[in-house]
């Protein structure tokens, strides 16, 4: 067996050291990758579990809301939010529950009517806060804009209501409800020309919407266009029939 020179032995030793070091580095790298993958899978598992639990609470809350048990629904949506603080549907649904709690007078038996009226805007503010949170996590959440707009309207903040409903219309341009609600807001602001434009759009989308004819007729009448108002009122034949008959008898030839 030939003898290795000192230089060759040194080179071979250096090579083995480098090779062993590389092996150690590769082992550590693989170990780190496995640990990171394990951690990632665990995080995904926990995240999925949290999401599923939040969805479960949200679903149960919807079921309670459908039976008008709004307080129980509110509590379930709150649990969903506590489980997943980024769950926009839970914020939206809790906003609806709070809105309905106010409309159905849940707090009425706890306070006298005067105090109840003072609390009214406060409770709508809570609903608005939840709708706002839903929008924060989903900027294109059309229904959140729509219902926040209605809440603003009930607080008589018509300009904010119009802003939200206009955003809803931009997301749902073929939904008559958006134009109808904004038409009401303009009407309440006594902006009758814009109100007429919106109700005209409603009628274009749904020629059978008699409420739109009725309110557009009122706007036309206020603007001194009695003949057009009477034409609109003549289209109303169902649930507003008696109101329209009285108007026609008083103002239409």
How confident is the model over 190-241, as pLDDT tens digits? 999 999 999 999 999 999 999 999 999 999 999 999 999 999 999 999 878 8
> How confident is the model at residue 20, as a pLDDT?
53
Q: Radius of gyration (Cα) for the chain, nearest Å? A: 32
Q: Is the pLDDT of residue 111 over 90?
A: no
Is residue 84 within 8 Å of residue 90, measured between CB atoms?
yes
Q: What is the assigned CATH class of domain 174-253?
A: mainly alpha
Average pLDDT value for residue range 12-34: 53
* Domains 52-157 and 174-253 equal at CATH topology level: yes
Q: Which of 25-29, 147-151, 195-199 has the lowest mean pLDDT?
A: 25-29
> How confident is the model at residue 98, as a pLDDT?
92
Mean pLDDT estimate for the chain: 82
Is residue 145 within 8 Å of residue 164, measured between CB atoms?
yes
> How confident is the model at residue 12, as a pLDDT?
52
> How confident is the model at residue 68, as a pLDDT?
87
Average pLDDT value for residue range 109-137: 68
For domain 52-157, give the CATH number. 1.25.40.10
pTM: 0.74
Q: Is the pLDDT of residue 74 over 60?
A: yes
> How confident is the model at residue 119, as a pLDDT?
44
Farthest-apart Cα atoms in the chain, separation:
127
Q: Burial of 46 by CB count in 10 Å (0-12 exposed, 13-18 middle, 19+ buried)?
A: exposed
Domain ranges of the chain: 52-157, 174-253
| Nearest C-alpha neighbor of 88 from the set 165, 42, 145 | 145
């Amino acid at each position: 067996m030939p003898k290795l020179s000192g230089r060759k032995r040194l080179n071979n030793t250096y090579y083995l050291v480098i090779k062993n070091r590389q092996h150690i580095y590769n082992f550590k790298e693989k170990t780190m990758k496995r640990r990171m993958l394990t951690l990632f899978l665990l995080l995904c598992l926990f995240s999925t579990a949290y999401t599923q639990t939040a969805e479960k609470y949200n679903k149960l809350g919807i079921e309670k809301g459908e039976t008008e048990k709004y307080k129980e629904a509110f509590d379930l949506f709150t649990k969903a939010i506590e489980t997943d603080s980024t769950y926009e549907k839970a914020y939206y649904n809790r906003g609806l529950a709070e809105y309905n709690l106010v409309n159905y007078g849940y707090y009425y038996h706890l306070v006298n009517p005067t105090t109840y009226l003072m609390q009214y805007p406060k409770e709508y503010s809570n609903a608005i806060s939840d709708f706002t949170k839903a929008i924060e996590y989903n900027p294109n959440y059309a229904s959140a804009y729509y219902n926040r707009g209605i809440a603003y309207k009930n607080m008589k903040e018509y300009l904010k209501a119009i802003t939200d409903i206009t955003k809803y219309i931009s997301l749902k341009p073929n939904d008559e409800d958006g134009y109808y609600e904004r038409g009401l807001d303009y009407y309440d602001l006594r902006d009758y020309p814009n109100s007429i434009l919106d109700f005209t759009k409603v009628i274009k989308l749904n020629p059978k919407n008699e409420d739109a004819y009725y309110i557009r007729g009122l706007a036309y009448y206020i603007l001194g266009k009695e003949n057009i108002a009477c034409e609109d009122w003549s289209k109303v034949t169902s649930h507003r029939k008696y109101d329209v008959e009285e108007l026609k008898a008083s103002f239409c030839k």
